Structures are given as structure tokens and as C-alpha cells.
Amino acid sequence: MRPIHYLRCFFGIAMREWLRFLNQRGRFFSALVRPLVWLAIFATGFHFVLGVSIIPPYETYVPYSVYIAPGLIAMILMFNGMLSSLSMVYDREMGSMRILMVSPLPRWFLLTAKLLAGVIVSVLQAYAFLAIALIWEIEPPWFGYLAVLPALILSGLMLGALGLLLSSAIRQLENFASVMNFVIFPMFFASSALYPLWHVKEASLLLYDICEINPFTHAVELIRFALYGQLEPVSAVVLVAATAIFLTLAVYGYDPAKGLMARRAAE
Amino acid sequence: MPNGLIAAVAIAFLCTARITAADTIYVSNEKDNTVTVVDGKTLEPVKTIPVGQRPRGILLSKDAKSLYICASDSDHIEVLDLVSDKISRTLPSGADPEYSALDPSGKLLYVANEDDNLVTVVDIDRGEVVTEIPVGVEPEGMGISPDGKYLVNTSETTNMAHVIDTATRRVIANILVDSRPRRAVWTADAAQFWVSAEIGGSVSVVDAAKREIVKRITFAVPGVPTEAIQPVGIAITRDRKLAFVGLGPANRVAVVDAQSYEVLKYLLVGQRVWSLAFNPDQSRVYTTNGVSNDISVIDVASLKVIKSVPVGQAPWGVVSRP
């Protein structure tokens, strides 16, 4: 196998993801509409509730809509990561995954390529959201738009890797509802996406600890700081570690000889 | 993409942007009995100076070398020497001085005595009370015309703006405004003075020659109850293009087009925004936020709040020194 084969394979997978994205316009719009609904309705309803203290990276009081914007960007990345994983389940049911899996390239590469292809689509959607969010005066400094790119990629990788891991365990399409219930909602609400963690700490120390170890919190914070040109080192380290763990487990899960695929075949 | 590099570029960019405004900000802290000094360049508090009891209104002397502080519960005016940062002398003021205005010559200080319904005229050099002028109940706002000929005093309970002729030291006109008038601020061209009414929730624009209200500006902040909109501090640009009005517990500063009187924007600042002051080149507005114990810095060009800086307890007055 020479590098050109790897490259060709990656482009193949990325193109497929891109075509899927283009053909499913509904998916594109729903991925955008979801956070915009939060911004337009939820943030308006709650805007008098917060805005009482200044926390880094903000240097002054910010409206609630500005506070939740990074959390909503992370929400886009999470839904995309999960949907991308859902497509793996679909591929498996429809048989197109077999075509991918018989490739002579190593499995870890195929999965990583799939992951990267999903992240590219996620990042584009995140920027589309940031562009529309200007209407609500969510205006980070210009350098924030550049600095947020690595944060978006890293967060996208982590959430996509989690999606891959879940997809290796999900048997059927219908199970996505459970993913919503048991993964997406708890991760989203037990994070700093909607409220600053010091607020959570005042109410429940246990919940605060849960929020602190939730990798989604770190995705939100990395994006939040990056939007203002700052690096949150702890979050970056947590995200790198979480991505490595999730991806390793996913590769293991997709290994027909070991992992969950083997068990499924045996059933 | 290296985040560190971008951060470095950003910091360099911010630094160059801030070099233009090298002023010093003084804030009186009503509950701490102190004055906080904030560096206008770094926007960091650099010093806290102990002063008299309950410092409220503060003013810069004409030569910008001292600060006149209304020490309300000490019943006098203190003169803070800005070279040594020590109180150099005190001036008599009558009981409970709250707010004052400086005569353009820099020699006379007009002080509102909240409890005695008086405006006291103080000769700064001699350190003596020259005279007392009876006005309405609970006088507070003091605005002196740019030529020094007229002084406008507002009385909180009488709901009036009293125009005082500074030559005869008599009230020559009374203008009824909305409930609890707080401040009277003249436009630089002396054509108007603006009076904020805290309970009335409005700002009355008064034609200085006719002594008539030409416009009553009202405010509506989405999501904020009307009773929380309590206008106090006013700052009007020298070219009379923009006016800034602090809206108290609405935690907003309203930006008003000073020609059309339309409210252009509401800026989120700290809690219970009170006094406002420009920096010397009027590129910024500083606000004191009495409940959140900080000051907010507004960039006039972009109409954005760029930073909030913690100061002492219950910040009240603010001035900027070049």
C-alpha cells in the first residue's frame, strides 16, 4: 500500500460524505435550524436570567445569547457526529459497509477517514451558524473566527469518535432514539453549554463534578475561549485524550475478530 | 492552527488599539469610603485611596491636578491632590453634599445639599461658603452652562429643573420635568440641557433659551420591565451627535442620536448603572455600576462594551483625567 492509495481512499470516503450531505438538504437545514431555534427562542426567554457575572474569556457582561453560542456550535458538532455514526448503522444494514470493509487498507485508517470526512462537514455547518448568528449580534473578534477552527476540528473529532464508538454498538437504526436519550441530552445538559458551571456548583456539587468530567463541557469551553483568541489548555488535553480513547475503542469495536461485531456475528 | 500565535497577535492588536487612550480613571466608592484609581491604558485598578465618609459626586479641578469629592456623610468637600494621592484640604459645603458643579473659571464650586434644599456656593481658593441659594426639595443634579452664566439644579422631590442666574444667584425659571430628576447636563453648544428623570423613566431635552421642553425621550429595553428603566447619568458628545444615558437597574446604557432623539442601541453593562463620564478625547464612556461593583468601558466608535473593571463597593461617581 502506497500513500496514494490511502489518499485515494480518503477522498472516496470524503466524497461520499459530501454527496450524502448535499443530497440530504433537510439534514443540513435541520442541523442549522436546531441551534437557531435555541438562539432565537430559548435565549430570548432566558436573557434576563443570566448576565450577572463576568467569567473568562469574557471581559464584560454578555447577553445570554452570546453565552450559549459556543454551546450551540458544539451541539451542531455533536448532532453531526451522531448522525454520521447513524449512517454507519445504515451502511451496515444496507450492505455498503461491506464494500468499505473489504478494502485492503487498515481498518483504523478507514474509520479515521470516515471520521475526518464527517468533521469537515460539521465545521462547514458551524461556520454557517456563526454567519447567521451575526443577526443576534454574536460578534466575536475577527481573529476568533480563525482561532476557533482548530477547536472546531478537535471537538468534531472527539464527538465523531464517540459516534463511531456508539455505532459499533448499535444494532439498528431505531436505536438512535436511545442515543438521543442516553447520550446527546445528558451530555448537552450536564455541560457548560447553557449555564456557567459556577451556577451549577451553587446548586449541586455532584452535578458540577459530572459537568467537569463531561468531555462535551471541554468541547464547549475550548470553542468559547478560541472564539476570543484564547487557548484553554485543560480542555484541549481532555479532548485529545477523549478522542484517542473513543477512537481506539471504536477500532476495536469494528474488528470482526474481536469486539462487538464478532459477538453480533455469533448471535 | 497555533492558538498561541493567534492569541499573541490579538494581544498585540489590542495593545496598539489602547495606546491612543492614556487617561487615568477615578471612581468614588460610596460604601467603601474610597476612591479607586484605574489605569486607562491597561484598564486595571492600580490604587485605592481612603477618603471621607460616603463619597459620591466627584469633579476634576480646572488644572486637572486635584479631585473635588463630595463626602456626603462627612458633610464637606475633600480636595484630593492627584500628585501625592492624598487629601490636601477640605472645603465647607453645608450638610450632606451629594453632587457639585464647577464654574468654568475653576474658582467656584456649586454644591447640592440634599437634606437642606439648598445649593451652596463655595469659593475654592478661600475655602469659604459664599452664599446659599434655596431651591426645591432634595436637590441633586447640577449642570452649569458652558459660559458659566446659568446653573441648572434638579430637585428630586419637587420634580423640577431650577435655572439659576449665577450673577444674581437667584432662581429665574422652574421647569417641571418627570418624576425624580437626577441629572442636568448641558450640550457643548449651550443650546440645550438634558434632564434625566429616574422614576419617570425619561430624559427631557430643554431648550436653554426658551426654557421649554422640546423633547421627552423614553426608553424600552426588550425583556426589561418598565419600572426597572431608571435614567440617571447622561453624557453628550461635544459635536452633539450622540448621547449616552445610564438606565440604572435595567443594566443598560441607551445610545441616543442627539439630533433626532432616537434611541439607537442599548448596551449591556453592570448592575444599576449610575454615573457616566467620557475620556478626554471622547472615544470612550465609563459607567459606574453600583450593585455589581465595577465600571464598564464603552467604545464610542463601535458602540460596544469592551471591558468591565472591578472597583470598590457601590461605585458612584467617575471622572477621567488626561
The domains of chain A are located at 3-266
Cell numbers representing residue A104 in the block: 485492503
Give the model's pLDDT for residue B19.
Answer: 46
Q: Which of B3, B13, B271, B294 to mutate to test the interface with A (most CBs of A within 10 A)?
A: B3
Residue A206 forms contact with B (CB below 8 Å): no
Q: Name the residue among A175, A181, A187, A201 with its Cα closest to residue A246.
A: A187
pLDDT at A12: 86
Alpha-carbon Rg for chain B in angstroms: 19
pLDDT at A258: 62
| Residue B5 in contact with partner chain A when CB distance is under 8 A | no
Share of chain B above pLDDT 90, in %: 88
Contact pairs from chain A to chain B, CB under 8 Å: 59
Strands (E), A25-170: none
Confidence of residue A260 (pLDDT cuts 50, 70, 90): low
- At B9-24, the pLDDT tens digits run 555 444 444 445 589 9
Query: What residue of A is the nearest CA neighbor of B270?
Result: A61
What pLDDT, on a 0 to 100 scale, did the predictor assign at position A261?
Answer: 56
Task: With a cut of 60, say whether residue B8 has pLDDT above it.
Answer: no
**pLDDT in the model for residue A96:** 73
Q: Is B90 on the interface with A (CB under 8 A)?
A: no
CA angle B46/B47/B48 to nearest 5° reads 145
A-contacting residues of B 131-170, CB under 8 Å? none
pLDDT at A92: 76
The answer to whether B62 and B108 have CB atoms below 8 angstroms apart is no
- Reported confidence tier of residue A76, pLDDT bands at 50, 70, 90: very high
> What's the pLDDT at A50?
56
Using an 8 Å CB-CB cutoff, list chain A residues near B292: 52-53, 61
CA–CA dist B309, A239 (Å, integer): 32
Could you give the ipTM of this predicted complex?
A: 0.76
**pLDDT tens figures, B94-143:** 889 999 999 999 999 999 998 889 999 999 999 999 999 999 899 999 99
Tell me if residue A90 falls in helix, strand or coil: helix
CA–CA distance, A71 with A223 (Å, rounded to integer): 8
Identify the pLDDT of residue A181. 80
- Cα separation, A194 vs A42, in Å, equals 10
Chain A neighbours among B 222-281 (CB < 8 Å)? 223-224, 251, 268-271
Residue A152: is its pLDDT beyond 50?
A: yes
Using the predicted structure, report yes or no on whether residue A86 has a pLDDT greater than 80: no
Alpha helices for chain B (secondary structure H): 3-19
Chain B residues near residue A61 by CB distance under 8 angstroms = 251, 268-270, 292, 296, 305, 308
Can you give the pLDDT at residue B78? 96
Pick the closest to residue B65 from B89, B93, B29 (CA basis): B89
Q: What is the pLDDT of residue B15?
A: 47
Cα(first)–Cα(last) distance of chain B, in Å?
A: 41
pLDDT mean over A73-86: 87
Tell me which chain A residue has its CA closest to the CA of residue B4. Answer: A231
Is the model more confident about A256 or about B49?
B49
Q: Does residue B229 surpass a pLDDT of 80?
A: yes
Residue B100 sits at the chain A interface (C-beta within 8 Å):
no
List pLDDT tens digits, range A197-242.
Answer: 888 888 899 999 999 999 999 999 999 999 999 999 999 999 999 9
Residue A259 pLDDT > 70: no
* Mutation site, A54, A60, A225, interface B, largest B CB count within 10 A: A60
Which residues from B are below 8 Å from A60, CB to CB? Answer: 268-269, 296-297, 305-308
Residue B258: closest CA among B175, B161, B193: B193
Residue B13 contacts residue A162 (beta carbons within 8 Å)? no
Would you state the pLDDT for residue B16?
A: 46
pLDDT band at A22 (very low <50, low <70, confident <90, very high): confident
Structure-model confidence comparison of residues B74 and B1, the more confident one = B74
Asked whether residue B310 carries a pLDDT value surpassing 80, the answer given is yes
For B166-225, write each residue's pLDDT tens digit. 999 999 999 999 999 999 999 999 999 999 999 999 999 999 999 999 999 999 988 788
Are B126 and B169 in contact, with CB atoms under 8 Å apart? Answer: no
> Quick check: B16 contacting A, CB < 8 Å?
no
Residue A4: is its pLDDT beyond 80? Answer: yes
pLDDT confidence of A48, banded at 50, 70, 90? low
pLDDT at site B1: 40
- pTM: predicted TM-score of the whole model, two decimal places: 0.84
How big, in percent rounded to 5, are the helix, strand and coil portions of chain B?
5, 55, 40
Express as a percent the part of chain A with pLDDT over 90.
39
**Mean of the pLDDT values across residues A134-155?**
93
pLDDT tens, A183-196? 889 999 999 998 88
Among B1, B224, B294, select the one facing A146 at the smallest CB separation: B1
**Helix (H) or strand (E) segment spanning residue B301:** none
Q: Is B17 on the interface with A (CB under 8 A)?
A: no
Instruction: For strands B97-102 and B44-50, give the pairing.
Output: unpaired
Q: In the predicted model, is pLDDT for residue B156 greater than 50?
A: yes
According to the model, what pLDDT value does residue B219 have?
A: 96
Task: Name the residue with higher pLDDT: B249 or A171.
Answer: B249
